[in-house]
Homo-oligomer: A and B are copies of this chain.
Amino acid sequence: MAKFMDVHRDMQGITKEQLAAAHRADQAIEREEGVRFERAWADPKAGVVYCLSEAPSADAVKRIHERAGHPPTEVHPVTMEVS
Which positions in A face B, CB cutoff 8 Å? 3, 5, 14, 16, 19-20, 23, 38-46, 48, 50, 52, 76-83
Would A79 and B40 count as touching, CB distance under 8 A? no
Which chain B positions have C-beta within 8 A of A50? 5, 50, 78
For residue A57, give the distance in angstroms from its CB to the closest CB of chain B: 14
Q: How many copies does the complex hold?
A: 2
Contact present for A80 and B46 (CB under 8 Å): no
Query: Is the CB–CB distance between A40 and B77 below 8 Å?
Result: no
CA distance A74 to B76 in the complex (A): 17
Cβ-neighbour of A83 out of B38, B44, B78, B80 (below 8 A): B38
- A76-B46, A76-B48 given; A81·B3 CB < 8 A: no
